[in-house]
A = this chain, B = another copy of it.
Amino acid sequence: MAWEEPRKTGMQYRRLGNSGLHVSALSLGGWLTFGGHVENELTFSCMKQAYDCGINFFDTAESYAGGQSEVVMGQAIKKYNWNRNDIVISTKLNWGGANGEVLVNNHGLSRKHIIEGLRASLKRLDLEYVDIVYAHRPDRLTPMEETVRAFNHVIETKGWAMYWGTSEWSADEIAEACGIAKQLGLIAPIAEQPHYNLLVRSKVEGEFQRLYSRFGIGLTTFSPLRLGVLSGKYNDSPDAPPEGSRLAQGNDKFLNYMKNDVYGKSEWQDMIEKAKNLKPIAEKLGVTQSQLALAWCLKNPNVSSVITGASRPEQVVENCKALQALDKLTPEILKEIDGIVGSIQLDPARQD
């Protein structure tokens, strides 16, 4: 994979926060797809297509498809015989990986689960180490020092990871982890993986504003299309998800909740309204609504990589075209978008 060489996709590589690790601006995640409803062969094709498009960063988690997402991702790495130093693999710990049941100690961010969980993830991935291990959610009962020490242990003593990060933590939790790491001379997290898109901006742009410069935290963001809403595919189905859509198929707890308790309700209608209003902008720029949504995330300089999902190789190719839309998002266009989705008003007293 050539370094910043022009490619057909125009893939960019960005440092993850202030670290020395480079991740592709678009990445491929295994949530709800790998090891799940997407056939393994199709998963392999998606990963191959992603790699060929210049994507070097693949994200999974112990809990995705009960551990099967890791298994399938590991098989793809073996199958295509990629150089280990050519790819960036991340997994996430919190809910255990053996099965859906939440167990007494096989979850959370205790020393026991971080060590046992990562060991199990590596076994499923059939890898010696991951590049990034994320705390999939905060664990508010385990002392932060225990968690920071355990991540340092798997990185520094065991060599099972190169870096660690957080996912869906609050700003103060990340700051606490960084402060404890500094105080004890341990390795601090380099990245946070938050929910971020045109419809969900406040945490990344507001609450987190000081984390970037103060702690060098980078972002790998998920859900760039807000479960597909920003692709525009639900624009014309106000009451129920159209057939064939993920929400229509979904037999997952979270998706069922979305389908039954959110879809069509007032918050949903508000999102659809915004998606509809973004459509003319996408058309004006000559890109799809999805590409507009992905490119918009990438305009945020604190975003190192936008994690995308794909159940078919063609989707990967389509997503990568978002890179070509980056230059089209001029300040004027961005302002126009703010007018539709609403921008974040920062507290001037909290500015550096």
Residues on A facing B (Cβ under 8 Å): 1-3, 13, 15, 18-22, 24, 56, 83-86, 88, 96, 98, 101-113, 115-117, 120, 131, 139, 141-143, 146-147, 149, 153, 156-159, 162-163, 184-185, 187, 216
If A20-B142, A216-B143 touch, does A156 touch B153 (CB 8 Å cutoff)?
yes
B113 near A187: Cβ-Cβ < 8 Å: no
B147 near A20: Cβ-Cβ < 8 Å: yes
B85 near A113: Cβ-Cβ < 8 Å: yes
Copies in the assembly, this chain? 4
A84 near B116: Cβ-Cβ < 8 Å: yes
- Distance in angstroms between the alpha carbons of A102 and B84 in the assembled complex: 15
- For A216, the chain B residues whose CB sits under 8 A away are 143
- For A107, the chain B residues whose CB sits under 8 A away are 3
A111 near B162: Cβ-Cβ < 8 Å: yes
- Distance in angstroms between the alpha carbons of A182 and B117 in the assembled complex: 27
- Distance in angstroms between the alpha carbons of A110 and B218 in the assembled complex: 15
* CB-based nearest B residue for A188: B145
- Distance in angstroms between the alpha carbons of A259 and B185 in the assembled complex: 50
- For A142, the chain B residues whose CB sits under 8 A away are 15, 19-20
Q: How near does chain B come to A181, taking the closest CB pair, in angstroms?
A: 11
- For A88, the chain B residues whose CB sits under 8 A away are 105, 112
If A142-B19, A157-B157, A184-B185 touch, does A86 touch B110 (CB 8 Å cutoff)?
no
* CB-based nearest B residue for A147: B20
* CB-based nearest B residue for A107: B3
B3 near A103: Cβ-Cβ < 8 Å: yes
* CB-based nearest B residue for A117: B85
B141 near A112: Cβ-Cβ < 8 Å: no
Among A19, A85, A143, A158, residue most surrounded by chain B Cβ atoms (within 10 Å): A85
